[in-house]
Amino acid sequence: MKYVIDTDIFTLIQRQSRTSVPGLFHLVSLQIPENICTTIITFQEQAKGCLAAVNRTQSEARLLHAYNLMQDTRDAFCRLTVLPFDAIAKQHFDELIRQRIRVGTMDLRIAAIRLAHQATLVTRNTQDIERIPGLRFEDWTA
């Protein structure tokens, strides 16, 4: 089974929050690496955060930290399959919009990619995600 990790889960894994969510790392370790992927939307959100950190820093020490974070983020994405927001995902997204599902745009785009690839979304955002019909999801932090 393929699992798509959302932006929040990606961040937890990248920051190695083992003490706050030890179950997440146990479940990730049980998976075949090729079965865990993410989306271009998560890449967009992470890149935007890294760029903001670089652009707003005013001290050399923080600038080095911001660039290290950017490098670590790039390296993390290089190790994962990144699923595209392609024509099929766009069709799913348009259908979700037509249904007037009250979930943030980026979450809807991630959900649309998940639907296009018939994978299971791994998220902590179950309150919003459960509003999306037909979306399989799991919370590995619970």
Instruction: Summarize pLDDT for 18-57 with one digit per residue, the tens.
Output: 456 666 766 777 677 788 999 999 999 999 999 999 999 8
List, for residues 60-90, the tens digit of each pLDDT value. Answer: 888 998 999 899 999 989 988 999 999 999 9
Residue 127 predicted with pLDDT over 80: yes
User: What pLDDT, in 10s, does the model give residues 84-117?
Assistant: 999 999 999 999 999 999 999 999 999 999 999 9
- Residue 104 belongs to domain spanning: 3-138
Beta strands in the chain (DSSP E): 3-5, 36-39, 81-83, 120-122, 137-138
pTM over cut 0.75: yes
The CATH number of whichever domain residue 71 belongs to comes to 3.40.50.1010
- Total domains present in the chain: 1
3-state secondary structure of 32: coil
